Structure 1
């Protein structure tokens, strides 16, 4: 039974690997489940056994690279120096995207290969939920900063969290495109540090 579970997990991972390749090559809108199954060397039935539709497959692909960062996100909620923790979190994300081919490919897909799709595709909802999870952790960190009187009094934790998320999205969007001139880790960390300092109480 254990071997069967291992094989099931391996099959699922192989399908996600294939999805990354096809999404990156074809774009999410144009990619089909049949192409992904073929890339994995499997039948479409095998794919449907693991994933009911493209939405589930796309969500699992995003979640696979997000999970290693989840521990760091939840750790933001109880820290003596929330601003340093937020900077450290951003630095770890940038370092991971810069140093991990798989993570960088998924980020490239999410930012550059995810063409507009009809609302019924469900992909907008997948990404919205993931953004909400990340934003909740940022809000918690900024609330902690507020409790320590370190957050500017004219800024709410919710506004600061949304602004930081927008800042990170912009850095990734440019970093995914300008790979020869934009140093994602070095430039990204410097930008996040400057951004966070602008929200720190004087």
Structure 2
């Protein structure tokens, strides 16, 4: 009996849920496809129906975070308020991680459970591609701000984009480790606003 598209999608989602659980518990390098299949209550054959290897599972896991965040107004070619867009993006990103346990777990996996081992270049390439995609969207925002006369003189859009990206990633890294002393949403958002205020033209 042929599976429906809905059943196929449900199976794929269940495998990704299981992979996230195993990656969080064991780390990506030590996790095996057998463990992921067992966590999902399925066979390894079910995994290979949807994913070619562990790297493909990892990439799909990241896509579940990437799509809601990067397909936003940041990439809108008709930006009229780039600084407002950048602030709202930071607010949405920090709120999602602070308040959504699953999304927070994925960031913990990427930042703390994905061991950087020799030979795992495919996963590093996946992460590099995501960072590059994000950096490109940010550069376009700051270039738009510059074209509108909103970016402070002497600040290259590329440098502003890197500073924004670096601060946001750093805040997330601190926030997922030091939940008692650092309020990711409240404190982090204020710091992002401080950065943007420093780049606004007077």
Q: Same fold (TM over 0.5)?
A: yes
Q: Residue in 2 aligned with 1:172?
A: 172
Q: Is the contact made by 2:74 and 2:85 (CA closer than 8 Å) also made in structure 1?
A: no
How big is the shift at 1:29? 1.1
- Equivalent-residue separation in structure 1 for 2:121 and 2:51 (angstroms): 14
Is the Cα contact below 8 Å between 2:143 and 2:157 reproduced in 1?
Answer: yes
Q: Is the 8 A contact 1:55 1:121 kept in 2?
A: no
TM-score, normalised with respect to structure 1: 0.94
Aligned to 2:13: 13
CA distance in 2, matches of 1:54, 1:150: 45
d(CA) in 2 for partners of 1:65, 1:129: 14
Structure-1 residue corresponding to 2:113? 113
1:190 matched residue in structure 2? 190
The answer on 1:54 being equivalent to 2:54 is yes
So what's the TM-score if we normalise by structure 2? 0.94
1:150 shift after superposition: 1.3
Alignment match, 2:160: 160
Give 3-state SS (helix, strand or coil) of 1:63's partner: helix
Change (3 A) 1:120 1:22: closer
Q: Does 1:39 align with 2:44?
A: no
CA contact (8 A) 2:90 2:189 kept: yes
The residue correspondences of 1:10-159 to structure 2 (distance < 5 A) are 10-75=10-75, 77-159=77-159
- Summarize deviations over 1:60-100 as a string: whole Å, max 9, x none: 00111221223325455432221111011000011111121
| Unmatched runs of 5 consecutive residues or more in structure 2 | none
- Asked if the contact 2:75–2:140 (Cα under 8 Å) also holds between the matched residues in 1, the reply is no
Whether contact under 8 Å (1:82, 1:142) holds in the other structure is yes
8 Å Cα contact 1:37-1:44 kept in structure 2: yes
What is the DSSP-based 3-state SS (H/G/I as helix, E as strand, rest coil) of the residue aligned with 2:4? helix
Offset at residue 45 of structure 1 (A): 1.4
SS at match of 1:122: helix
Range with bigger deviation, 30-39 or 15-24: 30-39
Q: 1:73 to 1:172 in 2, by over 3 A?
A: farther
